[in-house]
Chain A
Amino acid sequence: MPYSDKVLDHYNNPRNVGSFDAKDPTVGTGLVGAPECGDVMKLQIKVNPDTGVIEDARFKTFGCGSAIASSSLATEWLKGKTVDEALAIKNTEIVEELALPPVKVHCSVLAEDAIKAALKNYQEKQDVDETIGETTEKIAKPEPAGV
């Protein structure tokens, strides 16, 4: 199965690989997938608390080239969006942008899940901040502590 040029580009030159401190209250972390399924994505956003705009994003992915490309693309798209705008990103847009074949659609679904999980984690931190007035380490998915 030949890969599209865009998948190859993201695979060979992945954007925004890396990690933020998951304990940072301005960071939202999403960890989705499972090693035994062959795909795990960790996607993180760093939000400007004053503007609500995602200023930076990072990912790390265990998976095939299409999974790596989907998460790399997701970090590019997240930057500069507000949390609400980011919630509107659909996996079908990723499929279209990367020209993913049907057997790779699940990679885009996982990327959308990772985005949603990261946003949810960030929002939960804000909700807790508002009600309790302190930061929390609560996270949507099991937290990769210390990473």
Chain B
Amino acid sequence: MTQMPIYMDNNATTRTDPRVVEAMLPYFTEKYGNAASRNHPFGWAAEEAGEAARGQIAGIIGASAKEVIFTSGATESSNLAIKGVAAMYKKKGNHVVTQATEHKATLDTCKRLERDGFQVTYLPVDKFGQVHAEQIREALTDKTILVSIMAANNEIGSLQPIRDIGKLCKEKGVLFHTDAVQAVGKVPLDVEDMGVDLLSLSGHKIYGPKGLGALYVRKKDPRVRLEPQIDGGGHERGMRSGTLPVPLIVGLGVACEIAKNEMATEVAHTYKLRERLREGIMSKLPESYLNGHPTERLPGNANISFAYVEGEGLMMGIKDVAVSSGSACTSASLEPSYVLRALGVGDELAHSSIRFGLGRFNTEAEVDFVIELVVREVNRLREMSPLYEMVQAGIDIKKIEWASH
């Protein structure tokens, strides 16, 4: 029997792996020293654990341990990367290039830079949610100091051509930051091979603890310098002060170690479940559409729009399954997902979208249960939908002059 409720929102956050929790526990109650205490065994044990974790985290992105800076999460990592570069290199230029479907941690940070006098180019994406290196080449000016493009999108799972972009940035001498929160552990990443100078990652998206992130900061070719955003004791090479949360750091280290060692089997597992879910639902429901790229996407992500059914309404019908929707009803703004809009998905279909995020702990039985439930509820809600009724009667609902409210 499948246990309820079913968690299928692994792009939002993940269950902390029990192996991670186990590794963390001694650092709360036994080895609780301050990693900055240089003169007693408690401090030494904490420092040693922190440095070991740095190595594990560096390992999953092909970096060296000294290039990893701990933060409170990927939002802070991206803030530090973008604002830190902007402040440090402002004499060199005042232009930043990013794209429309970035996470708000990047977009809102860029908006702040604009208020501070920087110029930001927000590149459009294609219908699959991808940007192309050539677009970036055209956007670069002699004032460009930073390009920030995510490795994989959190809503639609589309992967970006990071290696092409990294190569271009190297050629042009522009720093390259990537938000790799969703990609870590699901897509092989190598900062050397991909030409990445700064990389944001998060613990809780990869079965690690919430409250911890990391920023990779390249140390050579080029040596990237950042203006710190938090001042204090000069921790983390002066780039991010604050006592290290050693239990969380140990947890992120182990989470990265597991993710790296088990990436092949985990990708195969989540991909198989995703395809089973996608095919199972879409083969039974006409006018359901996969948002994002059909193949170049995160293995566990399926973002599907169900025409004539509103996303939040559907979520209520499948309330035993935890998913997300691009519907505006889930936010106070009344605007549907900006990511789906950037792809050119119409507002109506954006309102009708559900994001399924398959992860390490999902099972085939859960997927089969969800297929049946979603198909049943979409059909029920379509029978209740005036739009479905009109389309069945041969009316083109796009031609109706709706009164917006």
A80-105 with Cβ < 8 A to chain B: 103
Complex contact A36–B348 (CB within 8 A) = yes
Q: Which of A45-53, A57-65, A124-132 contacts B (4 or more CB under 8 A)?
A: A57-65
Looking at chain A's contact residues, is the secondary structure mostly helix, strand, loop, or mixed? mixed
Asked if B400 CB lies within 8 Å of chain A CBs, one says yes
Complex contact A38–B402 (CB within 8 A) = no
Asked if B296 CB lies within 8 Å of chain A CBs, one says no
B382-401 with Cβ < 8 A to chain A: 383-390, 393-395, 397, 400-401
Asked if A27 CB lies within 8 Å of chain B CBs, one says no
Q: Which of B332, B336, B386, B397 contacts A61 (CB 8 A)?
A: B386
Q: Return chain A residues, CB-CB under 8 Å to B332.
A: 103
- Nearest opposing residue in chain A for B390, CB measure: A144
Known: A38-B336, A63-B329. A11 touches B316 (CB 8 A): yes
Q: Min CB distance, B370 to chain A, in Å?
A: 19
Q: Return chain A residues, CB-CB under 8 Å to B390.
A: 144, 147
Q: Which of B308, B336, B384 contacts A14 (CB 8 A)?
A: B384
Known: A60-B386, A60-B389, A144-B390. A38 touches B327 (CB 8 A): yes
B351-394 vs A, Cβ < 8 Å mask (1 yes, 0 no): 10000000000000000000000000000000111111110011
Q: Which of B308, B317, B393 contacts A144 (CB 8 A)?
A: B393
Q: Which of B346, B386, B403, B404 contacts A42 (CB 8 A)?
A: B386
B319-358 vs A, Cβ < 8 Å mask (1 yes, 0 no): 0000000011100101010000000001110010000000
Q: Return chain B residues, CB-CB under 8 Å to A39.
A: 310, 405
Q: Min CB distance, A73 to chain B, in Å?
A: 14
Known: A63-B313, A144-B390, A146-B394. A17 touches B383 (CB 8 A): yes
Q: Return chain B residues, CB-CB under 8 Å to A17.
A: 383-384
Q: Min CB distance, A46 to chain B, in Å?
A: 17
Going nearest first, the 3 A-B pairs with the smallest beta carbon separation are A34-B402, A36-B347, A42-B386
